[in-house]
Amino acid sequence: MVSAMATAAEPRPASLPLPGGRPDATVRLRPLLCGRFTSPEPSLHRERGRLAGLRALGIGAAWTEVPVVAFLVEHPGAGRLLVDTGFHPSIVVAPHEAFGRIAGRVIKDVRVEPEQVVSAQLRELGVEPAEIGTVVMTHLHSDHASGIAEYPESTFVVSAAEWAAAGSGGRMQGYWGRQFDHAFDWRTVDFESAEADSYATFGRSLDLFGDGSVRVVSTPGHTAGHLSVILRLRDREALLTGDAAYTRRTIDETALPYRMEDEHRFRRSLREIQLYEREHPGALVIPGHDFAAWRALEPEYA
């Protein structure tokens, strides 16, 4: 049995709603490209056959470029928040530190330009990192959590199941404790609590600000506590799938990745995403790691 990690961080259960909710609030969304890497195509979209495992490691397979992304959200009452943090500035000069030696076997050519670091992008927009009130973490894998140290003044929101998984996991599971184990204001949300209810096609949802503008929905499978985010824009909703759906092909063809923490739960979460898109044909659905989908996005959505 793996024992729980001794942590400097001491998360507290989030008391929902968080402050700042406004009746009928809508938000502004700015997608942020934080870097890129290459990975074997069969790692993103699992192949069948006895060589599937080798091809997922890149042996005899094509490699594809993968974006690393985060999102800036502006709420009229709660202020500015981030969804995920991208890479830490140190990755600019030491890209081999992005994932470590183990994951580095299937994740190569990590590239982060100095201006792509999220904090640098914020400053270019006239926003200091200290102005980010809330950071919502879809999960705590390196390409999402590496930049956490840049936001010591923020409140971090993560699912209770994800915090537990990250605390008992390690690099083999994609977690680097040093990236998230900071004595910051960590708040956990529990999708099994009485506050949780269903929303649209998702069985478990929590309304962060109590006004329907920012909802987190439980989408486990990629990790034990993965969550996705639904935002209410002025004329439609936006669903940020995180790694519950790597690409459009994941959604359109149920093309599963080679590796998942729990395939059954991944399939269930993906089905909820697929049904959501079917029932909300005008919604903006942004998969987690799809360059073609990313390049089709607008710089900002209101």
Average pLDDT over residues 8-24: 93
Average pLDDT over residues 142-155: 96
- Residue ranges per domain, the chain? 12-295
Q: What is the mean pLDDT of the chain?
A: 93
DSSP code of residue 101: H
State residue 4's pLDDT score: 45
Of 44, 67, 42, 65, nearest in space to 55 by CA: 42
Of 237, 249, 269, nearest in space to 29 by CA: 237
Task: Decide: helix, strand or coil at residue 13.
Answer: strand
The pTM for the full model equals: 0.95
Residues 6+ apart with CB under 8 A from 98: 35, 37, 87, 91, 107, 110, 112, 142, 143, 146
State residue 103's pLDDT score: 61
Q: How far apart are CA 232 and CA 222, in angstroms?
A: 25
Query: How far does CA 237 lie from the centroid of its chain?
Result: 17
What is the CATH T-level fold of the domain 12-295, as seen in this structure?
Answer: Metallo-beta-lactamase; Chain A (3.60.15)
Range with lowest mean pLDDT among 95-104, 109-118, 164-173, 270-279: 95-104
Q: How far apart are CA 2 and CA 216, in angstroms?
A: 29
List pLDDT tens digits, range 26-82. 999 999 999 999 999 999 999 999 989 999 989 999 999 999 999 999 999 999 999
Q: What is the pLDDT confidence band of residue 1, given thresholds at 50, 70 and 90?
A: very low
State residue 174's pLDDT score: 80
